[in-house]
Amino acid sequence: MDPRRLIPALAALACACLVLTAVVGWSRSRPEGAATTGAAAGSTDTGSVSAAVRGPAGVLAAWDERRSAAWADGDAGALRRLYVAGSRAGAADVALLRRYAGRGLRVEGLTTQVLALQVVARAPRRLVLRTTDRVVGARAVGGPSGSVPLPVGRPATREVVLVRRGGSWRVAEATGQASAAASTSRTSSSSKS
């Protein structure tokens, strides 16, 4: 086969990847405080991001908004409710939030930048997603330093199992790294806050 015939197909594939990246990036950009507003209003799946992005990407984006709001508020109870009972990822995330709170710190601007998303399995009450993402934009607020930017996390690929219970999506399991909180922990490990 003539390699020149592959150029249009590769160009189309590259354009599709750019459009998907732009859509995901656009969906993650929102006015400051939008995540806190959606979560404070008691929303379950109807945050500002999920209104713009439907389907599994919207479910994950809305869940990430609620997680960010719980971290910004230092609210371990709200964070725990994002996970099913007994979730190891949830226990690790809550434990890390409590360590921050124990040092008088909150984490604001916690944003999960989704670099790739694949639906592995989909049912009305269960989603299995393979994501490659990283934490960006987080700042440790409080303590003697006031506000310290946390480093951008390294991209991590994981499989996330979400289940729909009580009208909201909750994480049952996150595999492929130590926990859903590991990227937050990694970004804080080099901070002197």
Decide if pLDDT at 8 tops 90: no
Amino acid identity for residue 162 in this structure: L
Q: What is the pLDDT of residue 183?
A: 46
Say which residue the tokens 């934490």 belong to: 135
Q: For residue 178, how many other CB atoms are within 10 A of its CB? A: 16
pLDDT: is 54 or 50 the higher one?
54
Q: What is the pLDDT of residue 54?
A: 82
Decide if pLDDT at 13 tops 50: no
Please say whether the beta carbons of 177 and 183 come within 8 A: yes
| Mean pLDDT over each residue of the chain, to the nearest integer | 75
Q: Output the six-digit token pair for 153.
A: 């996390």
How sure is the predictor about 31, in pLDDT bands with cuts at 50, 70 and 90? very low
pTM above 0.75, yes or no: no
Helix (H, G, I), strand (E, B) or coil at 134: strand
The most confident of the ranges 5-9, 41-45, 52-56, 158-162 is: 158-162
Which residues neighbour 1 within 8 Å (Cβ) at sequence distance 6 or greater? none
Q: Provide the percentage of residues in the chain whose pLDDT is more than 70.
A: 64
The phi-psi region of residue 92 (left if phi > 0; otherwise alpha if psi is between -120 and 50; otherwise beta) is: alpha
The phi-psi region of residue 178 (left if phi > 0; otherwise alpha if psi is between -120 and 50; otherwise beta) is: alpha
Q: What is the pLDDT of residue 38?
A: 32
> What residue ranges define each of the domains in the chain, with the CATH number in brackets?
3-189 (3.10.450.50)
Q: What is the pLDDT of residue 10?
A: 42
Q: Output the six-digit token pair for 80.
A: 């725990």
Q: Out of 2-16, 65-79, 138-152, 159-173, which region has the weakest mean confidence (pLDDT)?
A: 2-16
Strands (E), 97-155: 105-108, 111-123, 126-136, 139-142, 147-149
